[in-house]
Structure 1
């Protein structure tokens, strides 16, 4: 049995959870805040960068990064935020879940389609993203490039206008049936000429895929779209 002095040493050596950071927030971009001089990166979400452009439902370019930042600033308004730290990233920013009046702001950004779930680091908001995608909210109404890919290409000095989350058949040409996953997790396929075919986009990161025939889709557990 450990002696009391040993137990005391162990308790003192155990790191305590960081205290919440509370105060008025300044929005830096769609996933970054400044609260009382502390730079905070929203946990589990990734928003388009400030200089990033996307295409809307009509195929017109717009500044989706700026749109995300303005939406977050407007939503927070003059309310104080409470950020619960999770970790510190390699840039020295506190990674946290932030709330305003008990509302999860990280989730709100994804729900409105102003950010995507940052699967590389967490899967907390994957289901929220799937709902936003199904409802065509925000960036999901058109086409956009994954923010992390945009940053990578920007650092490399390459082009960053290629839409990433669009239908991109991974099978030979002729495989044109789109397998889509609904907000409720239902697997539905759309054939060319069907009602929602043109606006349906395949996101392979979410497990969606292309099929070469209806028989192939059915065999994989997908059903035909209704209507």
Structure 2
């Protein structure tokens, strides 16, 4: 029985990455040399712009990245690996100071819940929408649509 517990414990530990984090963008961090996509959310890309309620353009992707960096603020981040990172990507539910970073980013309006991956962050996204926080304060293109549009433009430019 003890051997089974030890085996299970080491398997769980293999799925955990912990340490200081470097923020790559609004939904990607690097911990101990591993890039981790924050599970269950999709934040605007760094180069992506959105509009405020009054129609002013702003760098919402950069704002999401800065918000995540400020929230981590040098704390130790612990990530539990999850399925759903996409091809060649590691996804994880990551916590700093006991707080789920994906939940916080969605609740602040800096990221959308990835409903095709999990329903875990839909409530937080709904709170941000209801209070017009972050990207919900104005207009924006869904990050996945923005990426697809950019790939289409790049493909036509290559023709």
1:91, CA displacement in angstroms? 3.9
1:115 equivalent among 89, 95, 111: 111
| 3-state SS of paired residue (1:78) | coil
The aligned runs of 1:1-227 (5 Å cut-off) are: 18-87=14-83, 89-157=85-153
Residues 132-176 of structure 1 show CA distances to partners (whole Å, capped at 9, x for unaligned) of: 100000000000000000011111117xxxxxxxxxxxxxxxxxx
**Paired residue total:** 147
Change in Cα spacing, 1:122 to 1:17, as seen in structure 2 (3 Å) is farther
Task: Note the residue ranges of structure 1 that are not aligned, 5 or more in a row.
Answer: 1-7, 159-227
Q: Please tell me whether Structure 1 or Structure 2 has the larger radius of gyration of its CA atoms.
A: 1
Higher helix fraction (1 or 2): 2
Cα RMSD, aligned residues only:
2.0
Q: TM-score, normalised by structure 2?
A: 0.86
- C-alpha separation in 1, matches of 2:87 and 2:63: 24
Deviations 1:149-207 (A, max 9, x none): 0011111117xxxxxxxxxxxxxxxxxxxxxxxxxxxxxxxxxxxxxxxxxxxxxxxxx
State the distance in 1 between where 2:86 and 2:75 align. 29
Provide the rounded CA distance (Å) in 2 between the counterparts of 1:139 and 1:21. 30
- The 1:51–1:88 alpha-carbon spacing in structure 2 relative to 1, beyond 3 Å, is same
* Unaligned segments of structure 2, at least 5 residues: 155-159
* Secondary structure in 1 matching 2:48: coil
CA distance 1:104–1:39, change in 2 (3 Å): same
